[in-house]
Every structure is written in C-alpha cells, then in structure tokens.
Amino acid sequence: MIDWKRKLTSRKFWLAVAGLISGIVIACKGSAETAETITGIIMAAASVVGYLFAEGLTDSKGYQTPAQPEDEEVEDPEEEFRFNEE
C-alpha cells in the first residue's frame, strides 16, 4: 500500500511530478517559459501541501512544548558563588 502522506510531503516526489509535467508541456510544443512557470506552480503547491500535512500531524498529536523545569530556590544566593577554601 502506498503511504500517501509520506509521498505528498516528499520533495523528490514533487520534483518528479514537475519534471514529468514540464516534459509533457515541451513535448506538446509548449514553450520553455510555460514549462518553467508550471514547474514553479507545482513546487509552490508542494510547499503548501507539506506545510498543511505537518500542521495537521502536529495538531492531531496535540503537541505541546515540554514544561520548563522550575528553578531550585537557593537559601543563600551568595552560596552559589563561594568557593571552598581549604
């Protein structure tokens, strides 16, 4: 079975799709500028798709930043800076 989430967020997949479509445009007597424009649109769409999948995955997991450890209170603040003189 194909893992579509992984495929749709893969830059290699989108480059392959862009290359295929650009090749088809050129083969159908389209201009190089048209092929470049279509490739740019595909790569921009790929960025959006990747972002949406990443945000969706983050939201579905209920991601929260880990809590920061509380600072330990020191009874005598100067104690941290004293050296044992032996």
pLDDT tens digits, 11-33: 888 888 888 998 999 899 989 89
In a domain, 52, yes or no: yes
In a domain, residue 35? The reply is: yes
pLDDT in tens, 72-86: 555 665 655 565 655
Q: For residues 8 and 17, is the Cβ–Cβ distance under 8 A? A: no
Distances (CA, A) of 78 to 29, 69, 72: 80, 22, 14
Q: Is residue 84 part of a domain?
A: no
Residue 78 maps to a domain: no
Q: Which domain holds residue 52?
A: 11-61
Domain total of the chain? 1
Instruction: Determine whether 64 is exposed, middle or buried from the number of CB atoms within 10 Å of its CB (0-12, 13-18, 19+).
Output: exposed
Write down the pTM of the prediction: 0.55
79 DSSP assignment: G
Please indicate, yes or no, if residue 80 is contained in any of the structural domains.
Answer: no
